Chains A and B, each alone.
Chain A
Amino acid sequence: MYTIANELKDKIVYLNKVLSEKYSQVLSLDEMFLREFIEENVGPIRKVNKLTEEELAYYYQKGGILGVDGSRNRVGGAYPHFVEIYQGLAKSTIYKDKPIYKADFYSPLYDEKGEFPIEDSIEEEESIRNRKLSTIEIEAALEGIRQLKPYAVIMDGSLIRYDIESFTRWMELRRECEEKDIILVGVIKDIKTSIIGELLKEDKELNIEECFHDRELLYGMLEYGEMISIHGEVTKKAKEGFSSLFMRSSKAPTVIGMDILDSQKKYLEEMARLVLTLTPEDGRGVPLWIDIVDSEVKISDKMIRGLLESYLDRQILEMLFISERDKRTL
């Protein structure tokens, strides 16, 4: 029982081999060369400093910072017998006692506006769920802006996500921020872009065939507090009206990304400094404020189970949402 099947072990050895072959090229790239390449093609590398106390006090006067995050919990088994619960939270650093919560749910068993996927297309259904989560976060942000009038809003995740998944509500938020002059930024903990990778691939002199992700290329390359503000023309996001940057916000070698509205581009560096200020030096690179909002919006699966068990009829719960898996004890 405690021995590992030999085949499994071999497979993992094999995985290690192919990965190290694939990345040997990246790993062998000279750091100085890569930095120069980035400066030339992607954008300037600059070191930023933390905000001063006066600047923070100014932010406080201007209404503080609003953090926005969402969470989802899924109960049940395979399609369509499940329900997903969404919760969004907007929390201001100043109005500690006024968190703004928004909630929604989705279940394929209930058709809201006849938007049932016509076929059982997974993508279709997935996009509804993503839309729900994005929408709930945008709604929380909207209400936060209206009620708490912050200086800036930090969303957890890329802004482009909202643009894609919940366009109309997003435009509303965007408009309102621009009108009221509230800075809107997204902090991306896990960057999935490959801006640099694509440029490297395009460069014929380098002879790189694979397209590497930015996360891989930037791993350990920036110093603590250094950021790359990305030229508009190299990112696809520019078309949607965003400006972005990469930054190493903690001593951890990973890099985070940030998005800001194009119209607010002048604040990009300032926001980078804010994020740097709010990130523990020895942490994972995530601003503490986002972590706090995240931990407050998150609902444990146990709690959701409890809620469903209390407020759904037992019969409905058992019939629809208890999967065979849930009953397994071994």
Chain B
Amino acid sequence: MKVVGITTQQEVYVGSKDRNFRINEFLIISDPYQGDLMGEIVEAKTYNKYIPLSIHGELADSSVIESLKALGYNIEEDTIYIGKIRLLNEALYPVETGCDVRIPTFDEVKDIMINSPADEGLILGVIKNTDQMAKDMDEEYKNLLYTFEEGELKKQRDIPYIFNIRSMHQYPHIGVFGGSGSGKSFGLRVVLEELMKLNIPTIVLDPHFEMDFSQRGDYMPKEEEIDYRDKFKCLQVGFHVGVRFEDLSPQDLKNLLDASSPLTDAMNNVVDILFKRNDSYNSFYNRLKMLAEAQEEGSLDRIQLRIDSADSNLEREGWLKRKELFLTYDKTCPYNSVRGIIWRLNRLYNEGIFSKDIREIEDGLNMGKLIVIQGNTRILQVFSTYLLNNLYHRRRDYKDALYKKTTAEYFPPFIVVTDEAHNFAPKGYDSPSKSILKEISQEGRKYGTFLILATQRPTLLDETITAQLNTKFIFRTVRASDIQTIQEETDITVEEARRLPYLRTGDVFISEALMGRTIFARIRAAHTTSPHTENPFDELKNISKAEDEKFMQIIKNKLPINGDDFINVIKEIERDTGITYTVNIFEEKLEDLVTKGLIKKEKTPFFNIYKEI
């Protein structure tokens, strides 16, 4: 391998007669004057002067090449390999043409490849095309993981990519971008597995119900299996966790209602006026309800009439109360706004949000667990707003108290992870969860609260937040507008951006502020699998197979069945199993079994006979 052609301080071409170059491969140029210069292959080409790309005929056709081979001359051996190397650090002078190029040893690249001990960082995958340097790698970094290549589990051959979690203190927040099927959710799963290994308190907002870690990947060798079951907890909003109404501040409540459906100024005002500290759901709801009922009467006179004509004491008292509310609040709380609040509150209540509290989450975090919060996107938006506000401020209060030398209850630092982040912090319009995410993105670093945001549409994610993501994992992306955004937000090069639509599933560009360059990596095989991995078409097939088998079982000892005897057979089946078929359906099912070749049909002049094969 030698440096060829015209060189510059930044880029050189290397040529080789026998060794092909791989993209993102690291090589060392031994410049006689400047010493060793490290560079990375950014473009690789091969060329054979005897087999040129010629559009006007004169293409050495395969028969001639084969004939020459038969005569002992293999034209393909004349192929030369050319790679374009970009130096990691600009050289002082242009690189000397003709100097040798070699493969670096592990020690030479260690600093630029690995910046964390294996047991302290997140072992996310391998750095691609580094197998040659991995040979003399320290034992600590060997055999850490498996990768999936072409559907097969492979042992680690390359240098591992270890994300230095400690560096988040300096360079906070991670973005995970990639289209559907690019390996994004899968990459997120690996990140979460690693967080669990390190017992880092984490909150995961999971709108897809997929972040369950109890199902182990059956492809992993037995001795490598890791049990994550006691490291995480799946909690469903409204079922396991919810909001304790009594803990809500007026602002919390407004956020919640707003997340349910946006509030008008007047409605905000209604909440401010009507909501009292320590209100329970019932007391607040009743207050609203009674006020609305009073307002529906229309005037004081009519309310008075109600009081006067009340049948019971209870009813009279009720109307007296309404009268009081009407007198106090009617001027400040317009009827429509009151109704709006009631409607929103009802909606939240029906979703069960107010039936539980977040104690379980807090306990989990305190134990260093990964807490997965599940629910549909909208309910998660509502709940996360409350939850994150709550947790973040707990953490913040604790840290501030330390600083102010007062006391506050301990609350651990934690990481917030969400898929489909553009739903939680959309660009262009306000959403309640956005403001808290924005706050964390901007100042969470100081309080030890970090974000890992995954999205298929980085373009739709709030820009202030995107700008704060110091590390970005970029999977295959096809949309031009998203590639554009990625290019603007990362240090990814034009060549790399051009490769984005063609990345294999699980291959990822990692743009890390700590490294100051983009790393091309492959995510490791996850130890656990998502509950949604069964192919829906397999599912259909299996279901219909199971149905057939079941039906076969039922009719098996009734065979042969005569076409004029359906009624009796159906009766028998009904008696034996309690399952009822109509004659038409029964015949259809039998015909179906015939077409599938499970039973056979014989035709007679009068009716068909269905028989065992």
Contact = CB atoms under 8 A, between A and B. Distances in A.
B480 interface: no
B467 interface: no
Interface in B40-56: 49-50
Contact of A295 (B49, B57, B58, B71): B49
Interface string B245-278: 0000000000000000000000000000000000
A289 B73 contact: yes
Contacts of B71: 56, 59-60, 64-65, 93-94, 289
A60 B73 CA distance: 10
Interface string A258-302: 000000000000000000011111111000110110010000000
A93 B68 contact: yes
Given A64-B72, A94-B71, A283-B58, 6 more contacts: A56-B67, A93-B72, A278-B67, A283-B57, A289-B73, A292-B75
Contacts of A295: 49-50
Interface of B: 49-50, 57-61, 63-65, 67-68, 70-75, 77
A283 B65 CA distance: 13
Interface string A126-149: 000000000000000000000000
B61 A282 contact: yes
The 4 closest A-B pairs by CB, nearest first: A56-B70, A94-B72, A93-B73, A282-B57
25 contacts: A50-B63, A50-B67, A56-B71, A60-B71, A60-B72, A64-B71, A64-B72, A65-B71, A93-B68, A93-B72, A96-B74, A277-B67, A278-B68, A280-B60, A280-B64, A281-B63, A283-B58, A283-B60, A288-B50, A288-B60, A288-B68, A289-B68, A289-B71, A292-B50, A295-B49
Contacts of A65: 71
B67 A51 contact: yes
A312 interface: no
A94 B71 CA distance: 7
Contacts of A30: none
Nearest to A291: B50
A292 B71 CA distance: 14
Contacts of B70: 53, 56-57, 59-60
Nearest to B62: A280
A90 to B, nearest CB: 14
B18 to A, nearest CB: 13
Contact of B64 (A92, A96, A288): A288
B64 A94 contact: no
A291 B70 CA distance: 18
Nearest to A59: B71
Given A50-B63, A56-B67, A94 B58 contact: no
A283 B61 CA distance: 9
A154 B74 CA distance: 18
B58 A282 contact: yes
Given A289-B73, A295-B49, A282 B59 contact: yes
A278 B64 contact: yes
Interface string A79-110: 00000000000001110100000000000000
Interface of A: 50-51, 53, 56-57, 59-60, 64-65, 92-94, 96, 277-284, 288-289, 291-292, 295
Contacts of A281: 61, 63-64
Contacts of B65: 288
A188 B50 CA distance: 21
Contacts of B59: 280, 282-283
Contacts of A94: 71-73
Nearest to A51: B67
B128 to A, nearest CB: 34
A280 B68 contact: no
User: Looking at A59, A280, A281, which has the most chain B CB atoms within 10 Å of its CB?
Assistant: A280
User: Looking at A51, A56, A291, which has the most chain B CB atoms within 10 Å of its CB?
Assistant: A56
Contacts of B74: 96
Nearest to B51: A288
Contact of B58 (A92, A96, A280): A280
Nearest to B50: A292
A288 B49 CA distance: 12
A3 to B, nearest CB: 31
Contacts of B73: 64, 93-94, 96, 289, 292
Contacts of B67: 50-51, 56, 277-278
B322 to A, nearest CB: 98
A64 to B, nearest CB: 5
User: Looking at A51, A53, A93, A295, which has the most chain B CB atoms within 10 Å of its CB?
Assistant: A93
B72 A277 contact: no
Contacts of B64: 277-281, 288
A281 B64 CA distance: 8
A50 B50 CA distance: 21
Contacts of B58: 280, 282-284
Given A282-B58, A282-B61, A283-B58, A96 B77 contact: yes
A293 B441 CA distance: 67
A292 B74 CA distance: 12
Contacts of A60: 70-72
Nearest to A67: B73
Nearest to B74: A96
User: Looking at B49, B73, B77, which has the most chain A CB atoms within 10 Å of its CB?
Assistant: B73
Contacts of A57: 70
Contacts of A53: 70
A94 B77 CA distance: 13
A92 B68 CA distance: 11
A183 to B, nearest CB: 14
B53 to A, nearest CB: 14
Contacts of A292: 50, 73, 75
Nearest to A91: B73
A205 B237 CA distance: 110
Contacts of B60: 280, 283, 288
A62 to B, nearest CB: 10
User: Looking at B65, B68, B72, which has the most chain A CB atoms within 10 Å of its CB?
Assistant: B72
Nearest to A295: B49
A98 B74 CA distance: 14
A140 B49 CA distance: 24
A128 B476 CA distance: 68
A294 to B, nearest CB: 11
A79 to B, nearest CB: 35
B611 to A, nearest CB: 59
A65 B73 CA distance: 10
A291 to B, nearest CB: 8
Contacts of B49: 295
A14 to B, nearest CB: 31
A277 B50 CA distance: 17
A34 to B, nearest CB: 27
Contacts of A56: 67, 70-71
